[in-house]
Amino acid sequence: MSNTEKIIIVVLGNWSNVPEGWKQIHNKIYENCKTYNKCVNHEILTYNSRNTNYHFVVFNEDTDPIGKEVVNFINGTTNKQFAIAVHYNSNKLDNVSIAVNNLGNVYTPKSFSRLTDDQIWKALNALLECICKSCGNYDILFNKLWQCLVPTSIDIAHSLRSQILTPFIPFHLYCQINNEIKKTTDDKKKSEWTQESKQWKEEILEICYAEIKRINNNKILEEFFKVAGKSQNELPELFNHLSNGIDDFMKIDLDSCITTFANDLEEVVNLIESGDQI
């Protein structure tokens, strides 16, 4: 990660009554361009450290449409990671979030407020002061803000666990119902279930099976274990039955296997929560 170029994008207001608004950053970077409000010649402000891996980019919240402008900027760069902070009062968080939603190299934007006890604002304020006063701690303060804006290990673990387990849940539900129907002596129920079972397979389980294969192919499970600093020793039982079609997959004891698999993932999440890494 230390070699990855990081860019923090911030959407700021002018804050003419407060030293750390868009206007002040603009006047610092473009010292000879003292505009009253938003300068149309310098709409995107970029500040780099001597370590050129850390870039700080400021958009004015009056830029319209802000989402499109941010996306254009991001698409104009390559091989970088982006974290975004949007001034709460600008009401632009949704515009920006929706615009960057499908970009793989951008973390979910977060809002900050100068009015509350806000960790993001504290870190951002320190960085803005540093830029305005040309202090020597830019890289340290940049990374402090970066940590506030990107997901923590536990956030990533929860997100990946959800992504991995979700396509298994319909199989888990289906198997339980199927097992109950097998036990019943109600022939009408059994007959109705034959039709329902077909719908389950066609409308739901086939799609889930394809998603499980995608998760396996994209090594998302491996990514999950890496968050805990753990390497995946062996593939869970469930994934050993993916090559011969859904019917073969559904022959295994899915109820038990999925429950065990979920418990294994839970253990890893617990490890991360407790701050331990293997």
Partner 1 sequence: MSIVTKPQIYENDKILKEAIIKTLFSLNKATDNSILINISYSENSNGNTIYPGMKYILHLRGEHNDTTPVLFYGYVRIEYLKKKPEASILQSPAVEYIQMPFKVSELIRAIDRLQDINRISKPLDKNSQKILLEEKKEKIRSFKHRGDNIYRAILLNAELGREAIHEYPTKYPGQLDRIKIEAINGYLKEYKALLPFVKTLGIKGSDDIIQHLKNAKKSVEIIKAKSSSPAEAVKKAIDCAGEIKKVCDILSRVSKG
Please count the other Cβ atoms lying within 10 Å of the Cβ belonging to residue 47: 19
Measure the CA–CA gap between 64 and 255, rounded to whole angstroms.
52
153 binds partner 1 (CB under 8 A): no
Q: Which of 1, 40, 115, 278 binds partner 1 (CB under 8 A)?
A: 115
Q: Which is nearer to partner 1, 142 or 200 (CB)?
A: 200
111 binds partner 1 (CB under 8 A): yes
Is residue 93 within 8 Å of residue 111, measured between CB atoms? yes
Q: Which of 131, 141, 238, 258 binds partner 1 (CB under 8 A)?
A: 258
Binding residues among 29-58 for partner 1 as defined by CB under 8 A = 37
Which amino acid is located at 167 in the chain? P
23 binds partner 1 (CB under 8 A): no
Using the contact rule CB under 8 A, the part of the chain among 127-135, 200-208, 226-234, 235-243 near partner 1 is 200-208
Measure the CA–CA gap between 200 and 206, rounded to whole angstroms.
9
Using the contact rule CB under 8 A, the part of the chain among 41-49, 105-113, 127-135, 229-237 near partner 1 is 105-113
173 binds partner 1 (CB under 8 A): yes
The backbone torsions φ and ψ at residue 56, rounded to the nearest 5 degrees and listed phi first, read -115, 120
180 binds partner 1 (CB under 8 A): yes
> DSSP states of 242-269 as a string?
-TT-HHHHTTS-HHHHHHHHHHHHHHHH
Angle at 256 (CA atoms; ends 169, 253), nearest 5 degrees: 95
Q: Which of 43, 129, 139, 196 binds partner 1 (CB under 8 A)?
A: 196
Measure the CA–CA gap between 233 and 239, rounded to whole angstroms.
13
Measure the CA–CA gap between 159 and 15, rounded to whole angstroms.
36
- Which stretches of the chain bind partner 1, using CB under 8 A? 13-17, 37, 88-89, 93-94, 97-98, 108-111, 113-116, 155, 158, 161-162, 165-170, 172-174, 176-177, 180, 193, 196, 199-200, 203-204, 207-208, 258-259, 262, 266, 273
